[in-house]
Chains A and B, each alone.
Chain A
Amino acid sequence: AQSVSQHNHHVILSEAASLELGCNYSYGGTVNLFWYVQYPGQHLQLLLKYFSGDPLVKGIKGFEAEFIKSKFSFNLRKPSVQWSDTAEYFCAVREGGGADGLTFGKGTHLIIQP
C-alpha cells in the first residue's frame, strides 16, 4: 500500500520568508500528486496537482511544487509567504490512471507570524 510522509508537522515562519514543505511517497509506479490547503474554518482546497509532463508545477497563490521521481518527492514551495498563508497543508497521492481515493499525508500546520 502506498504511504505519504510529511516530515514537518508544525512550521512557524515570519512574513516574507521562503517556504518549503517536504512530501515523500512510497508508491513506485505512475502517480498523480496533489497539494491541498485547509485555511482555518474552511474546507480543503486544491493548491496544485501533477499528472505528467513538466515536473515543476505552479498552483494558486504563488505556490509551486517539484516532482522528483528519483527521490519519490513532491515538495511544496513559495518564495515569500504572507500572513494569509497560515493554514494546514496536505500532500496526497493516487496511483496514476485510476479513480481511486487519495492517500494523504498527516499534514503540516503552517503559522506565519506578521
Chain B
Amino acid sequence: GAGVSQSPSNKVTEKGKDVELRCDPISGHTALYWYRQSLGQGLEFLIYFQGNSAPDKSGLPSDRFSAERTGGSVSTLTIQRTQQEDSAVYLCASTSSYEQYFGPGTRLTVT
C-alpha cells in the first residue's frame, strides 16, 4: 500500500510569512508524529497525535507552531511568522503499533 506522503516536497518562503505543511499518513494508522530535521540538530520531536487529539505537544519550539489532525487522518503543521531558524526538513511519521513509518519530508527554506 501507499506510504506516508507529505506536501509540498519543497517550500521557500519569506521571513514573516505563514506556511502550512501537510501529512497524509498510512491508511488505518492511528498515531501520527511530526519531527524536524535540521543541520547540526539531528531529528527533533515536535508533536504527536493519537486519533485527532495531541497528548504530547512538548516539542513544539514556540507558539508560532501549531498542528491539527482531522478525521483521524490528514494532519497539517502550521508555522506562523516564519523565521530563518525555522528552515529545516519537516518529517511526518505514522504508526499503528510501535514502528514509525516516515514520509519523505518537506524541505522548508525561509529567506
| Chain A interface residues (CB < 8 Å from chain B) | 32, 36, 42-46, 49, 51, 90, 92, 99-107
B105 adjacent to A43 (CB under 8 Å) = yes
Contact with A along B4-35 (1 / 0, CB 8 A): 00000000000000000000000000010101
Within 8 A of A (CB), among B18-72: 31, 33, 35, 40-48, 50, 56, 59
B42 adjacent to A104 (CB under 8 Å) = yes
- A105-B42, A106-B41 are contacts. A99–B102 as well, Cβ < 8 Å? no
Total interface residues in chain B, CB < 8 Å: 26
A105 to B40, CA, bound (A): 11
Q: Closest B residue to A94 by CB, please name it.
A: B98
Contacts of B33 in A (CB 8 A): 101-102
A101 adjacent to B48 (CB under 8 Å) = yes
Contact with A along B54-96 (1 / 0, CB 8 A): 0010010000000000000000000000000000000101010
Q: Closest B residue to A45 by CB, please name it.
A: B102
Q: List 17 A-B contacts (CB under 8 A).
A: A42-B104, A43-B102, A43-B105, A44-B91, A44-B102, A45-B102, A49-B98, A99-B31, A99-B95, A101-B59, A102-B33, A102-B45, A104-B42, A104-B43, A106-B41, A106-B42, A107-B42
B42 adjacent to A32 (CB under 8 Å) = no
| Interchain CB contact (< 8 A) of B48 among A32, A42, A45, A100 | A100
| Leading 10 A-B pairs by shortest Cβ distance | A101-B45, A106-B42, A104-B43, A44-B102, A43-B104, A101-B48, A43-B102, A101-B33, A104-B42, A99-B31
